Amino acid sequence: MTEIKRGTPEALRLQPFFTYTNETLVQSFFDGEFGIAWTDDSLRPTCAAVFVAGFCFFAGDHQSTHARDLLSYLPDGITFVIYVPENENWAALFKQVWADKYAVWNRFAIKKEGDIFNREVLGEYAQNLSAPFKIKRIDENLYPRVAADPLFTDFVCNFEGKEDFLCRGVGFIALDGDTIMGGASSYTVYHGGIEIEVDTDKKYRQKGIATACAARLILHCLENGLYPSWDAANMISVRLAEKLGYHFDHEYIVYAVNLKKGE
């Protein structure tokens, strides 16, 4: 397999394979923001995979000579991947290649629509946290704490350190004193928008934290000409998205592979 770096002419040759999806993670690769790709031939590719932030999207000719190699190949250091196939043919080939080494998960696509948000309602949600809880933007002082917290490192982990996150990313966390309760942040970015990551510590759930932080993040995006893309891992996330103004699109299947020793 040949690795292809983002933002290169070789990367653009792979773009026609991925017109089937509107996933912003894929777009972030072709926009030169995140990720890496691999293909059978950098000059005359027949199939390709795009890997961004733990997700691997693969497409092209599933009957290609190197299709199996494409599925089994992983760059050094990558031990956990969520695979997203182009179609059923690729899904079937994936199952052959990985045999019993994968888990099947359902995810839930949220529609990417234009002017659908009620800013007044979002503003009310963003202010709806009782004292002494408070929401703060992730800045240079809060970044190290978020990055070091195993519960919330996903808020910043895909960026190349503090300066990169402060330059390209944005996030808001809810605090109980000095304790991070939850938040919402840019999991990745692409030209014109972000992909939202939302999470709350189990001890603080059912307090409106995810709603308040996500509302603040969405309002920030709207004020800065960014689209806040949302893709849901479960129905709880779908319901939160709908509460904030999004609309459910469809359910889809992904395949998780965990190569970490002992897991």
Kindly report, residue by residue over 132-160, the tens digit of the pLDDT.
899 999 999 999 999 999 999 999 999 99
Distance CA(172)–CA(187), nearest Å, equals 12
Distance CA(227)–CA(224), nearest Å, equals 9
Across all residues in the chain, what is the average pLDDT?
95
**Per-residue confidence band for 130, with pLDDT thresholds at 50, 70 and 90:** confident
The pLDDT assigned to 261 comes to 53
Distance CA(216)–CA(208), nearest Å, equals 12
Give the predicted TM-score (pTM) of the model: 0.95
The yes-or-no verdict on residue 262 having pLDDT over 50 is no
The yes-or-no verdict on residue 103 having pLDDT over 70 is yes
215 touches 125 (CB < 8 A) = yes
**Token output for 139:** 């800045």
- CATH annotation of 2-106: 3.40.630.110
User: Which DSSP category does 155 fall into?
Assistant: G
Per-residue pLDDT of 146-197, as tens digits, reads 999 999 999 999 999 999 999 999 999 999 999 999 999 999 999 999 999 9
User: Which DSSP category does 208 fall into?
Assistant: S
Helix, strand, or coil (residue 2) = strand
Average pLDDT over residues 7-22: 95
CA geometry: angle at 28 spanning 86 and 15, to 5°? Answer: 50
Count of Cβ atoms closer than 10 Å to residue 78 Cβ:
14
CA geometry: angle at 209 spanning 203 and 212, to 5°? Answer: 175
The yes-or-no verdict on residue 26 having pLDDT over 50 is yes
What does residue 192 show for φ and ψ, rounded to 5 degrees? 100, 5
- Does 3.40.630.30 match the CATH number of domain 112-246? yes
Report domain extents, the chain: 2-106, 112-246
The yes-or-no verdict on residue 221 having pLDDT over 50 is yes
Average pLDDT over residues 16-40: 96
User: 45-77: string of b/e by CB count within 10 Å (b at 16+)?
Assistant: bbbbbbbbbebbbbbbbbebebbeebbebbeee
